[in-house]
């Protein structure tokens, strides 16, 4: 009689060809093993004991993630409150799905999902924050600089907190750091007002160089944002790279994140009140 967990845990190695095929050594030890917190005991006690007994190296790290509930209620077949991930992806796109569950569900703790929270995050953070920023900067570069900026001005945002969070496997904190850059860049644009600098070029001989410096800083910052988002939102990262690394920068043909009100009410539309 074999204890079921011995058989189940062995699959991590046997699927790689252990012990007959030496190819398994190319993939082991694992840099990171991801498990649910409810099975941590088996992976942090039984599995290491088995590996040590076989003389096989242990995984370098084990990440135990928490549980997800639906608006504070445990997911249950009897209640019927499950959410189909594919439906969310079909409605909002895979990057929006990845974004919400990477940022708004704590990596190392339990988290909660609701359509209200999801749609608020989509419209406020993706459509408003980064979506508008992509559109805004690319449009200004295209309008005021004919789509061309000087590459000598580099982004100066400190990305160390981002990489520190990634090293701690706190992916939600890492995305928080990206959003510090996103919002500070929006604030920078509001403070510097590139449109006013552009308007002053007819009377101010220094305005052209100043405008180029400002917009170049914005473009390099967007490229940095795109690189940092790559592990979480690869499609969005690629779009940012395409827009801001083109020979002639122009706004994307359509919004990267168009606003959507599929499961919640659109606050811009008047409420319909039925008269009795």
Residue 83's pLDDT is 87
DSSP class of 33? E
DSSP string over 92-143: H-HHHHHHHHHHTS-TTS-EEE-HHHHHHHIIIIIIIIIIHHHHHHHHHHHH
Residue whose entry in the numeric block shows the structure tokens 């504070």: 72
0.85 exceeded by pTM: yes
Give which of 128, 144, 136, 125 is closest to 222, Cα–Cα: 136
Measured distance CA(126)–CA(104) in Å, rounded: 13
Residue 1's pLDDT is 46
Residue 156's pLDDT is 77
Measured distance CA(117)–CA(71) in Å, rounded: 9
144, 131 contact by CB (below 8 A):
no
Helix axes of 207-229 and 132-145: crossing angle, nearest 10 degrees: 150
Measured distance CA(209)–CA(144) in Å, rounded: 12
Residue 252's pLDDT is 93
CA dihedral 222, 227, 231, 233 (to 10 degrees): 30
Q: Residue 111's beta-bridge partner residues?
A: 68
Give which of 162, 152, 141 is closest to 225, Cα–Cα: 162
Residue 276's pLDDT is 47
Complete domains list, the chain, with CATH: 4-65 (no CATH), 85-244 (1.10.730.10)
Residue 270's pLDDT is 58
DSSP string over 39-102: GHHIIIIIHHHHHHHHT-PPPS-EEEE--EEETTB---TTTT----HHHHHHHH-HHHHHHHHH
Retrieve residue 260's tokens.
Answer: 């959507």
Residue 32's pLDDT is 95
Cα 187 to the chain's mean position, in Å?
21
Residue 77's pLDDT is 86
Give which of 156, 150, 122, 276 is closest to 224, Cα–Cα: 156
Mean pLDDT by 10 residues, the chain (276 residues): 78 93 92 94 94 96 93 88 91 97 94 94 97 97 94 81 96 97 96 96 93 95 97 98 93 94 76 48
């Amino acid at each position: 009689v074999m204890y079921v967990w011995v058989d189940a845990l062995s699959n991590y190695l046997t699927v790689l060809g252990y012990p007959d095929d030496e190819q398994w050594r190319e993939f082991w030890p694992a840099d990171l093993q991801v498990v649910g917190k409810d099975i941590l005991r088996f992976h942090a006690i039984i599995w290491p004991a088995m590996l040590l007994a076989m003389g096989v190296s242990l995984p370098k790290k084990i990440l135990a993630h928490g549980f997800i509930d639906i608006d504070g209620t445990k997911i249950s077949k009897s209640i019927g409150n499950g959410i189909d991930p594919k439906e969310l992806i079909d409605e909002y796109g895979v990057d929006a799905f990845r974004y919400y569950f990477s940022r708004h569900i704590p990596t190392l703790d339990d988290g909660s999902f609701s359509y209200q929270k999801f749609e608020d995050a989509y419209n406020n953070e993706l459509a408003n924050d980064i979506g508008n920023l992509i559109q805004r900067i690319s449009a200004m570069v295209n309008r005021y600089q004919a789509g061309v900026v000087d590459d000598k001005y580099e982004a100066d945002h400190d990305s160390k907190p981002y990489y520190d969070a990634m090293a701690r496997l706190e992916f939600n904190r890492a995305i928080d750091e990206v959003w510090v850059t996103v919002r500070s860049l929006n604030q920078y644009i509001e403070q510097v007002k590139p449109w006013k600098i552009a308007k002053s070029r007819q009377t101010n001989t220094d305005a052209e160089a100043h405008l180029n410096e400002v917009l170049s800083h914005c473009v390099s910052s967007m490229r940095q944002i795109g690189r940092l988002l790559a592990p979480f939102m690869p499609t969005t990262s690629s779009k940012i790279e395409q827009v801001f690394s083109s020979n002639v920068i122009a706004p994307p043909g359509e919004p990267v994140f168009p606003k959507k009100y599929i499961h919640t009410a659109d606050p811009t539309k008047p409420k319909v009140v039925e008269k009795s």
